[in-house]
Amino acid sequence: MTESMIQPKAGRPEQRTARTAPESTTAPEPHPADGHEATTLLERTRAAVDPVLRTALGSLPAPMRRVALYHFGWQNGDGTPADGGAGKAIRPALVLAAASALGGPAARTAALRAAAAVELVHNFTLVHDDVMDRDTTRRHRPTVWTVFGDADAILVGDALQALALRLLAEDPHPAAPAAAARLAQCVVELCAGQHVDTAMERRAPDEVTLAETLAMAEAKTGALLGCACAVGALYADAGEAEVAAMDAFGREAGLAFQLIDDVIGIWGDPRRTGKPAGADLAARKKSLPVVAALTSGTPEAAELATAYAAPHREEDVEHLTRLVELAGGRDWAQTQAADRMARAMQEVARAVPDPEAAGGLLALAEFVTRRST
């Protein structure tokens, strides 16, 4: 549930480069992955969902409203207006794209409140995770707890979860109760994922298995992306099989995203990530490529385990980076990410056979996973 799930860390490019695929064909492109299409979808989502979010936050009592508006980037710490930075709205975009793919524009409109609810849940987990992880920066600004203290951060997170579920409880759409139940259950899974993550960080490097690291990443990152897609499908009155396929699509895309994000956390260009090279290694994070390397059975695995257990020295990072690479961590992560994306494509094809209707979903999936290292 950390920012690295889906929001770019400070300095990572907010704008993706357009695909090199030709855009000059006259017929609409049925292919899924058009960076421009994703950007447009995200902008449309922000335009449609922000008013719902602002109304919901506006209903909070004044002192908590101030903290919430700060977190969403709409106010500064002193209460003066600020200019956005509320995140890219990937999750609400997935809700709307899924509703649209399975039920057309009417379903998309009907799912607006649900899209805002999913975004509120995402943000509640960010605020609480930052408290637990003592993270000090989020979306290029100091985190809520550093500005307002732990108590206010906990309280505002609690209130954001309540707002999310109130939005759905007040939604007269027949899909709303099922969506609320799904979103609430997803919160439980997000909490379980964060629990495993914090517990895992305290364990010795050689005690962590790849299977549990993948399961943790699915719970922390995949679950809410899957829930977003499933909720959109519910608002399109989709059948159980379609809803399940949409959930699986979001989960696979989410895992692909996390794998790529972890690769960037080690091999990312500091000029683009805004973090020193190998920041995740310096912090001894048990990210997916690292655990893959640790459990590779190679000679470098043992060396890496020893080095990871030792205290941090500045000059280690380059050595650690090389060890993870030599132990196959990078190759594994990239292969896994491609594999997850392939599975995501299969799931979406199951729920939405018409590639044109599925275009928005695929564009968003490509968008979150196409990161330049």
Q: Where along the sequence are the contacts to a copy of itself (CB under 8 A)?
A: 59-61, 63-64, 124-125, 128, 131-132, 150-152, 154-159, 161-163, 165-166, 168-170, 176-178, 180-181, 184-185, 187-189, 191-192, 194-196, 198-199
The vertex-325 CA angle with 323 and 328, nearest 5°, equals: 110
Cβ 238 to a copy of itself, closest distance in Å?
Answer: 18
CA distance 274 to 268: 9
Cβ 18 to a copy of itself, closest distance in Å?
Answer: 39
Closer residue to a copy of itself (CB): 116 or 304: 116
Tokens representing 118? 């999913």
Closer residue to a copy of itself (CB): 72 or 124: 124
CA distance 205 to 343: 30
Cβ 96 to a copy of itself, closest distance in Å?
Answer: 21
Closer residue to a copy of itself (CB): 40 or 59: 59
Q: How many CB atoms lie within 10 A of CB 162?
A: 14
CA distance 225 to 340: 14
Cβ 5 to a copy of itself, closest distance in Å?
Answer: 16
CA distance 38 to 41: 5
Cα torsion 146, 69, 6, 176 to 10°: value is 130
Closer residue to a copy of itself (CB): 131 or 256: 131
Cβ 214 to a copy of itself, closest distance in Å?
Answer: 16
Q: Phi then psi for 278, rounded to 5 degrees?
A: 70, 30
- According to DSSP, residue 218 is labeled I
Cβ 49 to a copy of itself, closest distance in Å?
Answer: 19
Closer residue to a copy of itself (CB): 67 or 323: 67
Residues 139 and 3: beta-carbon distance below 8 Å? yes
The residue written with tokens 């709409």 in the block is 74
CB-based burial of residue 330 (10 Å sphere; 0-12 exposed, 13-18 middle, 19+ buried)?
A: buried
**What totals of helices (H) and strands (E) does the chain contain, helices first?**
17, 2
Cβ 128 to a copy of itself, closest distance in Å?
Answer: 6
Tokens representing 263? 């690769």
Closer residue to a copy of itself (CB): 64 or 244: 64
Closer residue to a copy of itself (CB): 168 or 320: 168
In the chain, which ranges are E strands? 137-138, 141-142
Closer residue to a copy of itself (CB): 11 or 77: 77
Cβ 59 to a copy of itself, closest distance in Å?
Answer: 8
